[in-house]
Structures are given as C-alpha cells and as structure tokens.
Amino acid sequence: MKNDYLLQYEFNEWLKSEYSKLSFKATFYDSQLRKLNKHTVFNDENGDVFDAIENEILCDNNEGVQTLILNVLEKMEQREIRHKVNVNTRMLDGLRIGLLKYRSFLYGFLALRSEKYASVCATANHLCEIKSLQLKSVFNGNTRYVLPIYGDNYTYNKDKIDKLWEQILSVNTNNQVKLSDESIQVESILESILVRPRGENQLEVVDGGNALILLSLLLHALYEFSENVYNRGSFTRTVRNRPQLLSINTQLNDQKLFRVLVFNGINKKATTPNNISKGIDYKCEEPGLNMGFHFLQTTFRFVQLIQASKIPQSEHYIKNIDVFIEHLLKRFCINRKELTDENSSKTYLNSSTILLKDVMEWL
C-alpha cells in the first residue's frame, strides 16, 4: 500500500468534488482514516483492515468489503473499545464519521470499476418493489424502521428544510379548507427510502434514513401546534411512540438525542436550538462532532417556519393547522423501495446516485 491507507489519494480527490455537501473540512475525514489505520484493535483477524479491504476489492467481493467495514463499526459501538484504543468518546465519534464517508466513497469506486456497472444501473429497479406511500402510511405505527450502524449521520441543512417547507405549503393554497386530493411527491427534495425486511413489521433502512428523520421531526413540530384537543392527545401518543417506530442503532455522535427530543416535546418559546426541547438545556454553540445537535437545529427551524405561517399577514398563512396537517398526511407521498429476499444480501450501499465521477487507475 503506497499511502497511509487504501486509496488515500483517490479518497481526497473525491472529497474535493463533494466539498459543498460535507459537514466538515475534507482534511478532517482524511485525518480520521489515518488515525484509524494506526489502531490495531480494529484490524481484521487476518491483519490490517485496509489490506483486507484491498484483497476483497481485488477479488471483486463487494460484500466482503461491506462486512469488513461493518465489523469495524460494530467494534466502535462496544463500550470497552474506548479503553482498548485509549480514546475518549469524541475521538471515537470522529473515527466513525470518517469511516462512514470512506464507505460512501468505496461504493462509488467499486461501482465505476465494475465492467457490469451500466447493466447493473439499467436493471436496478428490478431489484426491489417500489411503493408510493402517503406520510400517514409511512408512520402508521405498524411498521418499525431501524437505522443500522452503517447509516450516515443526520446533518442539518437549512436550504433543504426551507425548500421542503415551501413545497409543503402547496397544500395550503389560498387558505382553502377543502383542498385537492392530488398527491405530491417529495423525491425532488428528499431521497427515496430503500429498505429490506428484518422480522415481522420491521424494516432495515438501507438508504434514505435521513429523509425519515427529517419527516419525523417535521411531524413532531407540526403536532405541537395542533388546536384540536382530541387530535393533540392522538398526536402526543403517536409522537411518543416515534422513537420505537424509528430506531437509531448507533449510540455514537449523540444520536441518542433523537429519542430524548421526540419524547420530551417542544418548547415553542425557545430562542435557540439549545432549548427547543422541553427539559433539555443542551450546551452546544457549534455542532462539531455532536451530531445530535442537528436534530435540535432542524426542529427549531421547523418551529420558526410554522410560527411564521401562523401570522395572518403571512403570504402562506395557515388558517387551520389541523386541516393543514390532515391534508399533508394524505397528499404528500414518498417512494419506499423494498428489496426482495433474493437481492437483499447482494447490495453494497444501494445508493441511487453515483457521486464519484473520475477515479484514477490504482491496480
């Protein structure tokens, strides 16, 4: 291996192309991979983990690459690992974030390297069953979504939230009480949800977990503004059950804050994201590695947008919040793609978009 870790140069070139989408500077991810390579506790039983990944790539074994990375992520979840590698939680969080980004890069690399890439893309839709679901059906309480440890960290994106809210306001055209039943797809802003069955009424979210989190926080904020006592009671029960409906497996990067935030309810008088959740005084000026802070930022932004729409002089005044919520749940739809049993074990990352444009020959 010529560099500090496998495909270091190519990874950094890819990070440069992804600059606008990164939560941290490109050098951060590179430094985390170099640190990871120095910790022998994460090595495969046959030796260095990056050497093992290279061997799997040479054998065209994408599933082997996936398994090796998942093994490292699982080790990071173990409590005793902090003592073995002599790092604190914050440093371990950094290693995980770096590895998740490296995993996304490897998927693109492997896809472009494959001679069958074109035919794979052409037949991708045949690998799964596609359903267009109303938001009401997505969160109907009967299906539990599990976000696995390889799921990327949720990050706050103000532009995406504002665009989503602008599209959502289309159900409130001219403050009508009886609105069209025509469905509205949100794929132009949010990615589709790709899942595979994991037991009765349980789906593992292979891709699109961030879309589920965003929609959950949106509904969580809207329910807080319901004016109907019966609905508020129903909404409260639904929201308090949401941590069970949407379970985040990793405890790193403060992801556990999602459960606390949803269960505690919203402080509508909050002036900063730090105090948007009832009972939480979150001490964080900048999110940094505390990715859980992004949940607070998102909720705070949705509350701001809803409050602005409650002002009668507002361009998009919401006269009846309960009618608005009802139509939102019925009219807004998102695609859920479910992998068949035959293909559920053959996927690597299953992202529908290949971000890597140019990979230098390295063999």
> Tens digit of pLDDT for each residue in 296-306?
999 999 999 99
pLDDT digits (tens, 9 = 90+) for 254-302: 888 888 888 888 999 999 998 998 877 777 656 678 888 899 999 999 9
Does residue 43 share a domain with residue 151? no
Question: Which range of residues forms the domain containing residue 279?
Answer: 128-339
Q: Which of 96, 121, 146 is the last residue of a domain?
A: 121
Place 43 in a pLDDT band, splitting at 50, 70 and 90: confident
What's the CA gap between 244 and 298, in Å, rounded?
20
Same domain, 201 and 252: yes
The pLDDT value given to residue 325: 87
Task: Give the end-to-end CA distance of the chain in Å, rounded to a whole number.
Answer: 11
Residues 174 and 295 in one domain: yes
**Do 104 and 143 belong to one domain?**
no
- The verdict on 159 and 197 lying in the same domain is yes
- 121, 148, 164 — which closes off a domain? 121
pLDDT of res. 363: 31
- Asked if residue 185 and residue 113 are part of one domain, the reply reads no
- Residue 358 included in any domain: no
* Judgement on whether residues 223 and 285 belong to the same structural domain of the protein: yes
- Residue 63 domain-assigned? yes
CA distances from 42 to 64, 81, 157, 341, 344 (A): 16, 9, 32, 31, 27
- Compare 215 and 46 and report the one with higher pLDDT: 215
Question: Distance of CA 66 to CAs 72, 83, 162, 351, Å?
Answer: 10, 26, 35, 14
Residue 349 has pLDDT above 50, yes or no: no
Record the pTM: 0.84
Among residues 79, 97, 121, which one ends one of the domains? 121
Structural domains in the chain (count): 2
Q: Are residues 136 and 117 in the same domain?
A: no
The pLDDT mean for the chain works out to 80
Q: Are residues 147 and 238 in the same domain?
A: yes
Q: Let me know if residue 24 belongs to a domain.
A: yes
Q: Write out pLDDT tens, residues 19-30.
A: 888 888 999 999
* Residue 231, domain member (yes or no): yes
The two three-digit tokens of residue 79, written as one number:
């409590």
The pLDDT of residue 64 is above 90: no
- Residues 324, 231: Cα–Cα separation, whole Å: 13
246 and 135 both lie in a single domain: yes
314 lies in a domain? Answer: yes
At 159, give phi and psi (nearest 5°). -60, -45
Residues 82 and 146 in one domain: no
Mark whether 97 and 228 lie in a shared domain. Answer: no
Domain membership flag for residue 160: yes
The answer to whether residue 229 sits within a structural domain is yes
